């Protein structure tokens, strides 16, 4: 799957990056110029709902992992991680915050280490990766849609465009007029950056799926409800080392994902309602923006204390993202192709074709799930 989603994800993220770089605004702010606000309100609230479910699942996974390593009950870590991540998101200046997120991406390689610790029959893996089988049941189609919704996810669309704006503000382009347009060098640099980022993202996804298939699925463990159950199941199958690395990876990934999830929803809602926004601003200057971060985080904590299954919640949030992505991608495609909005720097024909293919693939997968 990673072999096929990488070029599609790269095209989508680069299109969103181009929108932010060329228009000087985030995705919701640009879409508002072409579409009615009520549509953006629905999209933004749907994004907030899906992201909050993801936040709950990530907090539960981190708490379970920390509980395994420390022996302290997981419910304390849910509150600790929720409060700590929200505080860092609000209080740490953008430049330092961006640096923290970049270093946290290294935690993703824990899943690569886990896969090699388990042991891989590469001949079989390469064959099945290059020649995958088609889904046959509704459940299999739903799983495929969840994978696409996790990889080509709406929160990443909004985050990518908004962070381009944040980067320009960081170097002194605080006025919208100073952010309009982008040089060819800037666009090429961003293509390289996005290309490498999406490549490693899909590589990590590949190793997560591979490790799961070689351990849990091979031994018939397909009803895992929590990350703790997954880690504990790995011990007799793959050894204590693999399980520990996997557990540490869960904590690192949660620290990376949660600020992105809450922040992307905050950007979308702030631009939709004309609120002051940006991770470079203080809480006093952008309290509605940071209020979304707080509400999303607290709601995630509340879902965990309500006893919602984190794995099941994560799965259905991914499915929701898979359903939400196609109409958003159509809107992004329309904006990225608009010469006036894009300051005569529209997306290339190749990227438009790849994004169109992405839309078709996700719609067909959704049809397969419901048929």
Number of structural domains (the chain) is 1
Nearest to 166 by CA among 293, 13, 280, 276: 280
Q: Encode the chain (371 residues) as per-residue pLDDT tens digits.
A: 556 788 999 999 999 999 999 999 999 999 999 999 999 999 999 999 999 999 998 898 888 878 877 888 888 999 999 999 999 889 887 667 777 777 767 666 766 777 776 667 777 777 777 777 788 888 889 989 998 998 999 999 999 999 999 889 888 888 888 899 899 999 999 999 999 989 988 888 888 777 777 766 665 655 666 666 666 655 555 556 666 666 677 777 788 889 899 999 999 999 999 999 988 888 999 999 999 999 999 999 999 888 777 778 888 888 999 999 999 999 999 999 999 999 999 999 999 999 999 999 999 999 999 88
Nearest to 25 by CA among 175, 156, 154, 184: 175
What is the 8-class DSSP label of residue 217? Answer: I
- pLDDT score at 339: 93
Nearest to 110 by CA among 250, 229, 280, 2: 250
Asked if 51 and 261 touch (Cβ cutoff 8 Å), the reply is: yes
| Burial tier of 243 (Cβ tally within 10 Å: 0-12, 13-18, 19+) | buried
Asked if 103 and 110 touch (Cβ cutoff 8 Å), the reply is: no
- pLDDT score at 234: 57
Nearest to 224 by CA among 239, 234, 236: 234
For 288, what's the count of Cα atoms within 13 Å in the CB-facing half-sphere?
Answer: 11
- pLDDT score at 229: 63
Tracing tokens 């089988």 back to the chain, one arrives at 133
- pLDDT score at 294: 96
DSSP H or E stretch at residue 81: helix 74-91
- pLDDT score at 22: 95
- pLDDT score at 298: 95
- pLDDT score at 107: 64
What is the 8-class DSSP label of residue 225? Answer: -
Asked if 282 and 288 touch (Cβ cutoff 8 Å), the reply is: no
Residues 6+ apart with CB under 8 A from 193: none
Q: Note down the domain range covering 238.
A: 2-370
Nearest to 163 by CA among 295, 306, 1, 21: 21
- pLDDT score at 200: 86
- 333: CATH: 1.20.1740.10
d(CA 217, CA 55): 25
């Amino acid at each position: 799957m990673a072999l096929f989603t990488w070029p599609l994800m790269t095209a989508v993220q680069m299109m969103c990056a181009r929108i932010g770089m060329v228009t000087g605004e985030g995705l919701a702010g640009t879409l508002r110029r072409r579409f009615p606000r009520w549509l953006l309100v629905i999209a933004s609230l749907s994004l907030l709902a899906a992201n909050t479910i993801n936040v709950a699942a990530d907090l539960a996974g981190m708490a379970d992992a920390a509980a395994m390593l420390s022996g302290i009950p997981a419910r304390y870590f849910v509150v600790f991680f929720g409060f700590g991540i929200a505080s860092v998101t609000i209080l740490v200046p953008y430049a330092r915050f961006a640096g923290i997120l970049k270093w946290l991406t290294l935690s993703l390689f824990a899943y690569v280490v886990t896969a090699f610790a388990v042991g891989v029959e590469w001949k079989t893996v390469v064959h099945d990766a290059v020649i995958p089988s088609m889904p046959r049941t509704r459940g299999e189609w739903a799983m495929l849609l969840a994978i696409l919704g996790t990889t080509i996810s709406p929160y990443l669309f909004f985050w990518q465009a908004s962070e381009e704006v944040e980067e320009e503000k960081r170097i002194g382009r605080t006025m919208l007029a100073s952010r309009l347009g982008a040089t060819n060098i800037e666009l090429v640099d961003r293509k390289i950056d996005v290309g490498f980022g999406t490549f490693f993202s899909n590589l990590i996804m590949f190793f997560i799926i591979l490790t799961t298939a070689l351990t849990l699925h091979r031994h018939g463990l397909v009803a895992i409800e929590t990350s703790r159950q997954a880690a504990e199941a790995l011990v007799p199958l793959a050894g204590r080392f693999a399980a520990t690395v996997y557990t540490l990876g869960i904590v690192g990934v949660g620290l990376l994902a949660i600020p992105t999830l809450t922040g992307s929803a905050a950007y979308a809602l702030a631009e939709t309602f004309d609120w002051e926004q940006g991770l470079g601003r203080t809480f006093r200057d952008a309290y509605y923006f940071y209020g979304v971060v707080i509400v999303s985080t607290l709601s995630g904590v509340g879902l965990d204390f309500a006893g919602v299954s984190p794995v099941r919640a994560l799965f259905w949030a991914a499915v929701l993202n898979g359903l939400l992505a196609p109409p958003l991608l159509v809107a992004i495609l329309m904006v990225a192709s608009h010469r006036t909005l894009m300051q005569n720097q529209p997306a290339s024909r190749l990227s438009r074709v790849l994004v169109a293919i992405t839309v078709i693939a996700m719609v067909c997968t959704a049809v397969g799930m419901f048929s």
